[in-house]
Each structure stands twice: as C-alpha cells, then as structure tokens.
C-alpha cells in the first residue's frame, strides 16, 4: 500500500493554501499521523530545496540536503518542542546539511566559511543610479529569477547564507544567528555587506539608461 | 550632523525599522537631504523587495519523486508509532 498518495495532495492543496495550521499539523505528525507530516513536507519542500540549492550551488547536493532534511525531521520530530516555528527548526537542519556539503566540497580550504569577514566599516558604494522601473514589469519571471539567482550565487558563502536566511527565508536576525551559530553583530555586518553587494549588482542591471554613477563617499 | 558613512552603517536597522525613534528621525533627515544616500536607500529597499517577491520554483520532477520515495520508505519502516 502506498503511504503517500499524490492524489491526496492534489485534493488537499486548497486546504493547505487556505488554512495551513503548522502547529496543529506538527502535533498530529508527532502523534504518528503520516498524512500530517506529508502535508508539512508538501508545504515546505520547495523552500527547502531553493535554500539548499542557493547555499550549495549544486543540484545533486541540494537534492541530498532536501532528502536529509525531511528524513531527519521525521526521525527527530519528538525532539521538536515548539520553542521556535517548525519551519525555523527545519531550516536549521537544512542549513547544517547544506554547510556540511559545502565544507566537504571545499576541503581544499580555498574559501573557508569562517574566513575573516569585513566589519562593514569599509562598505563601498559605487553604483548610484535610480532603477529604470519595476524589474517585474521589464523582465519575465524566469528572466528575473535567473538574474536574482546569479546575483546571490556571486556572493561569498559567508554572506550568501546570512542573506538567504534573513531576506529570502525571512527569518529574524536572532533566528539567523542561532541557525548559523553566529553572534548577532556578525549576522548584522554580513547582512549589510550582502545587501549592499546585491544592490550594486542589481543596480548595474536595472539602472535607468544614462543615469550613471556619480561620486559617493 | 550625520555623515554618509554613518548613515550606511545604520542602513540595515533603518530598513528593518528596528531603530529608536530619535535615531530613525536623524537618519530620515539625512536621507531627505542627501541625494546619494536616498538613491542607495531606495535601491537597497527595492533589492530586498524583488527578492522577497520571488516564489520558489517547483522542484524538478525526478528530484521530487525521489524525495517522496525515500520518505515513503522511511515512514513504512517506522510504522505509525510516534517519535
């Protein structure tokens, strides 16, 4: 007998969209309701995969992270005591898995994750130009997604992970710090650097024609 | 009088609206009077907005299938007992 029936999910999609009750589903899953756990997976799998891919920059590693995250979540459901949101707990598992992949791959230590980080005191702002118009109106969703992906991928891992958790996954500064084992001030300085670097990259892409940089700082 | 460098150092908290009212007012005054900082602030805000507006793409079908196959196997081994 199939435990997970795709038809079940297609039927329940509207319920998930309209009345997703995370804590009720977690409680049911902890009581052994596999359909409830499956609904949690269904709700979060895209976000976990996106995050895994953005951190590892690799489909194979992202797939491993995706699987490991939900397998571990299932195995350790009893260890989740509701001190944070379930998704925050899930993200912590996924981030650990993704960083382990990254560390393994970077065993040559060319770009260690704990490399010295700029403090944010020497931020460089070169591109000072207003944006042409709303990028969503100029680019298709696919084109825009690709541009944004490329911009995030170009960040160093230390900045990228902070930006992904804080500004894409919309975790708080405190949650981001906890998930990455960093201090609040380290998260803040990395986040500033990441945001400004992304702003530079996107401004080069989206700036109004003829509105080039002028002196700054 | 706040400098552009000081403004930039506070930009995160300004954008995240986590500043006390007095500091926020000082930054607001600076951004209103400094065209460069206004542009940096505006384009950083737009940068964050464009990222927040992107929904995750669907997972490739083969990866999705393997995830569910793995979970199905895991759950069938564990049965219906709680953790």
pLDDT digit string (tens) for chain A, length 217 residues? 344 443 333 333 334 445 789 999 999 999 999 999 999 999 999 999 999 999 999 899 999 999 999 999 999 999 999 888 899 999 999 999 999 998 887 664 444 444 444 544 455 677 788 888 788 888 888 889 899 999 999 999 999 999 999 999 989 999 999 888 899 999 999 999 999 999 999 999 888 776 554 444 4
Q: What is the mean pLDDT of chain B?
A: 89
Beta-carbon contacts of A164 under 8 Å, excluding residues fewer than 6 positions away, are A51, A54, A55, A152
ipTM of the shown complex:
0.87
Residue recorded with tokens 């930009």: B11
**Interface contact A67-B47, CB threshold 8 A:** no
Give yes or no for A4 touching B (CB within 8 A).
Answer: yes
Residue recorded with tokens 């005591």: A81
Report in angstroms the alpha-carbon separations of A186 from A88, A120, A154, A193, B4: 19, 10, 20, 11, 22
Give yes or no for A114 touching B (CB within 8 A).
Answer: no
Give yes or no for A198 touching B (CB within 8 A).
Answer: yes
pLDDT tops 90 at residue B1: no
Q: Are A54 and A168 in contact (CB under 8 A)?
A: yes
Give the per-residue pLDDT at A124: 66
CA atoms of A187 and A173, how far apart (whole Å): 7
Give the per-residue pLDDT at B79: 56
Q: Are A48 and A70 in contact (CB under 8 A)?
A: yes
Give the per-residue pLDDT at B6: 92
**Interface contact B75-A31, CB threshold 8 A:** no
Report in angstroms the alpha-carbon separations of A132 from A12, A144, A196: 42, 14, 18
Summarize pLDDT for B46-80 with one digit per residue, the tens. 999 999 878 898 999 999 999 999 999 988 876 54
CA atoms of B10 and B17, how far apart (whole Å): 10
Give the per-residue pLDDT at A11: 34
Q: What phi, psi does A18 have (nearest 5°)?
A: -90, -35
Give yes or no for B25 touching A (CB within 8 A).
Answer: no
* Closest-CA residue to B39 (of A208, A210, A138, A193): A208
């Amino acid at each position: 007998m199939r435990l997970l029936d795709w038809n079940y999910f297609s039927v329940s999609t509207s319920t998930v969209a309209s009345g997703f009750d995370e804590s009720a589903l977690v409680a049911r899953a902890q009581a052994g309701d596999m359909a409830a756990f499956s609904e949690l997976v269904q709700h979060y799998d895209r976000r976990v995969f996106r995050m895994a891919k953005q951190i590892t920059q690799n489909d194979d590693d992202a797939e491993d992270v995706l699987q490991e995250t939900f397998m571990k979540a299932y195995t350790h459901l009893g260890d989740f005591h509701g001190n944070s949101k379930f998704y925050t707990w899930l993200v912590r598992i996924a981030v650990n898995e993704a960083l382990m992949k990254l560390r393994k791959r970077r065993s040559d230590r060319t770009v260690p994750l704990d490399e010295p980080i700029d403090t944010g005191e020497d931020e460089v702002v070169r591109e000072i130009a207003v944006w042409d118009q709303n990028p969503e109106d100029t680019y298709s969703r696919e084109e825009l997604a690709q541009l944004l992906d490329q911009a995030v991928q170009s960040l160093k891992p230390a900045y990228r992970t902070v930006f992904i958790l804080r500004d894409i996954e919309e975790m708080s500064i405190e949650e981001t710090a906890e998930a990455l084992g960093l201090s609040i001030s380290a998260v803040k300085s990395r986040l500033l650097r990441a945001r400004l670097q992304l702003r530079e990259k996107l401004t080069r892409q989206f700036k109004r024609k003829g509105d080039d940089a002028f002196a700054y700082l | 009088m706040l400098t552009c460098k000081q403004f930039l150092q506070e930009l995160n908290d300004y954008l995240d609206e986590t500043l006390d009212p007095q500091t926020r007012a000082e930054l607001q005054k600076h951004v209103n009077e400094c065209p460069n900082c206004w542009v940096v602030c505006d384009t950083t805000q737009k940068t964050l907005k464009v990222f927040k507006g992107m929904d995750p793409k669907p997972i490739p079908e083969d990866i999705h299938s393997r995830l569910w196959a793995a979970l199905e196997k895991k759950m069938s081994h564990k049965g219906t007992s709680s953790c």
